[in-house]
Copies of this chain bind each other. A is one copy, B any other.
């Protein structure tokens, strides 16, 4: 069998304004390429401790069990379910977009009885809807998406939903994939039991890790399980021993990805969260104003519009695929289309982390103007 030969990597210099990955700062790329130490080396254990401390800052939590899962955001989502659900458990999931659907899919595979609380894609929930549903049946867990990447809607009143869950004896799981480090996420203040995210969104670290934080209520549920966690790789009762004081070998942590995450988190800490949120907000508002002018109005009403990921409506004169291919090929700009019920109807524009910069907004609007004017 002949050895294949390929040239050096030489990718186009993309400007990443889709739903992730976002652009990665050169400091993060440099840190990632630091020569490796072993995964049980005392120096790596220090890195792990620092990553945990920095993650607690971005999650705004004192939760001891705050770590990066060694997989992408979807692995974090699955970890947030499989550790706390056992076969036959009742689970309630808010579904107003693709990632709510995915939560249902995952929970169903674990053997949960899944009830869906539904809203059309792009809308958000009223906390009272959850209270009413939680009152009708005893649920083990309620899961809700904070910022739906498929629609651009931002769920408000998270603390109220958490309270409703707890009032009815359910754990509250929050998907913060597209919100963490781009807009306020207050795990302790909101009393969220489990939250997870991805590294490739507002943290602007390459994809490959999934930060998760687990509070004491959820840890107690994990401890009290009648059955083993069916998923070995994501079993937090073992993973926490590696990240905790015991340092028991579980799997080989992705060293370089943790280097990268540490550096991405350092950048967040240096900027500080309030300034970071303000930057995301300001650039999003500039984008929204520009989109209105281009007759590509934002899809989600201002009241629950997500500043880290904007969706805009396409006029029928625009060919979704052709226009996005033009943006990519002629301007090196990546944005994304809609999918599911929104396919061909919206674009999804991420201004996340290092991608959230004024020059990107101005360039994107100019390129969009040229492309849509030519139609």
**Which residues of A are at the interface with B, using a C-beta cutoff of 8 A?**
1-6, 8-9, 11-14, 16, 18, 20-21, 23-24, 29-39, 41, 43-44, 47, 50, 53-54, 56-57, 60, 70-75, 78, 102, 105-106, 108-111, 198, 200, 206-208, 228-234, 249-257, 259-260, 262-263, 266, 268-270, 272-273, 328, 334, 339
A107, closest chain B residue (CB): B232
Which residues on the B side are within 8 Å of A4 (C-beta)? 50, 53-54, 57, 269
Q: How far apart are A316's CB and chain B's nearest CB, in angstroms? A: 25
Indicate if the CB atoms of A206 and B266 lie closer than 8 Å: no
Which residues on the B side are within 8 Å of A256 (C-beta)? 24, 29, 32, 206-208, 256-257, 260
Which residues on the B side are within 8 Å of A56 (C-beta)? 1
**Pick from B105, B263, B328: contact of A9, CB under 8 Å:** B263
Please judge, given known A-B contacts A38-B14, A38-B21, A75-B71, whether A9 and B208 are in contact too, CB under 8 Å: no
Which residues on the B side are within 8 Å of A54 (C-beta)? 4, 6
Indicate if the CB atoms of B33 and A74 lie closer than 8 Å: no
A31 to B9, CA, bound (A): 7
A62 to B339, CA, bound (A): 34
Which residues on the B side are within 8 Å of A18 (C-beta)? 38
**Pick from B6, B110, B229: contact of A50, CB under 8 Å:** B6
Most buried by B among A11, A60, A111: A11
Indicate if the CB atoms of B109 and A252 lie closer than 8 Å: no
